[in-house]
Structure 1
C-alpha cells in the first residue's frame, strides 16, 4: 500500500450536487422522475390522525401529499395539503363536526376515486409523455402501480418534475402538470 498525497482546498469552490449532472428534458426516460417505493419509503399517515394534526405535520415537514393507510399499513386513500386545508375543516365544522374530531379519513380521496399509471407504461415512456397524460387530469401527484406484482410501486409528482427539469414555476402553490406543460411549451 502507498499513501496518497493530501492537497489544500484552495481553488476548489463548487460543492457538487446530483442535480448538477441531471441533464433531464421532456425527452428523458420517465423513470428519471419516478419515486420508486422500492428505493424510497412512501410518506404515509394513519387514517385515524386528526386533520388538524395532519395539517401541522405537513406544514412542518414541507410535504404536500401523503398516502393514507389503515392499521395494517395498507393504502386506503391519499390526502394532499389542499384537501386538508383549514377551509375544508371549517366547512365540516359548519356542518356539525367538531374541528378536533375531523380525521384524515374524512377529507382524503379514497382509493376507489384514484386513477393511476402502470409501471410497465412508465418504463417505456418519456417525461413529456407523462406530463401530457397527467396535465389533462389536473393532478399534482399520481400513484404508479405494478399490475404484474399487484402492488403500488411509486409516485410521480409535479413538484419533482418541475425541480428536476429546473423549470421556473411559481412555488407559491404546488405546480400542476398543466403548469409544467405551459412552462415547457412557453405558454
Structure 2
C-alpha cells in the first residue's frame, strides 16, 4: 500500500528569533576528565571500513571524503583484520615497497601497509571505566600509538566487539592543545597534570 504524505504549513520566522541551546554547557575536557569524554563511541559515530585488496590511494580518498584519518580493514566475514591510517599511506612504507619491489604506487594495496590485527592495541571497556583522559594519553604514549580500540567482551561467548576508539588527534582537539607531543614520561596522572599546568 503506497504511503500518503501531507504538506506541513510553514510559519514565518519572526524578528528577534533566537536559537535554542542545551540546558547545560558543553563539558570542558581536562586531563582528569573521565576517559569516556574523549572516546569516539561507535554507538553514535559509524566506523568507516575498507577491504585489504583496495589500493592505498583509494583508501586515502575514502578517508578524506569521510572526514576520518583511520579505516578498519575488514575481511569477507566482516571481521577486523587490520587498521590503516592516513599516516600509514602518506608515510615511508609505500615508498619502501616501491623501492624494494619496483611496484607502482597505484598497485600498492591496503594489506601491504596496514597494521595487522595481532599488532592492534585494544583496551577493555571494563578497564577504562574509571580511567581518566591523562591515563589514556599515557597509555598511547607508552605504546607508541596514535589509536587504541575499546573492546567489550561477551562473557558467554568470549567474543570481542569494538565499541569505540581513542585517538591522539581527537584528544588534542577536545583538550584544545597538542598534549600528545608535549607530554613526557610521567609516573602518575598527578605528574602528568603537573607537566601541562
Q: TM-score of the superposition, structure 1-length normalised?
A: 0.77
Structure number with greater Rg is 2
Cα 1:15–1:99 shift into 2, 3 Å: farther
Task: Tell me which of 133, 139, 164 is aligned to 1:133.
Answer: 139
Q: Label 1:36 to 1:86 Cα distance change in 2 as closer, same or farther (>3 A).
A: closer
Correspondence for 2:93: 88
Which of 102, 112, 120 aligns to 2:118? It is 112
Contact 1:22 1:164 in 2 (8 A): no
Q: Which runs of 5+ in 1 are unaligned?
A: 1-5, 170-176
In structure 2, relative to structure 1, the CA distance for the partners of 1:75 and 1:180 (3 Å cut) is farther
In the TM superposition, 1:18-167 aligns within 5 A as 21-85=26-90, 87-96=92-101, 97-148=103-154, 150-165=160-175, 167=176
Q: Per the alignment, do residues 17 and 92 of structure 1 end up closer, same or farther by CA in structure 2, a change over 3 Å counting?
A: farther
Shift of 1:56: 2.7
Structure 1 runs (4+) greater than 6 angstroms displaced: none
1:144 to partner: Cα distance: 0.9
Distance 2:100 2:65 in 1: 28
- Taking the aligned partners of 1:132 and 1:106, their CA distance within structure 2 comes to 29
Q: Deviation digits for residues 35-68 of structure 1, max 9, x if unmatched?
A: 1222321121111111121123324444221111
- 1:17 positional shift: 8.4
Distance in 2, Cα, partners of 1:49 & 1:17: 42
When the two structures are aligned, how many residues end up with a matched partner?
172
Structure 2 portions without partners, runs of 5+: 1-12, 185-191
Q: What is residue 7 of structure 2 aligned with on the other side?
A: none
Deviation of the 1:33 alpha carbon: 1.2
Aligned residue number for residue 177 of structure 2: 168
CA distance in 2, matches of 1:73, 1:186: 41
Supply the distance in 2 between the matched residues of 1:117 and 1:86 (Cα, whole angstroms): 26
RMSD value, Cα: 2.9
Q: Which residue of 1 aligns with 2:16?
A: 9
TM-score, with length taken from structure 2: 0.74
Give the corresponding residue for 1:174. Answer: none
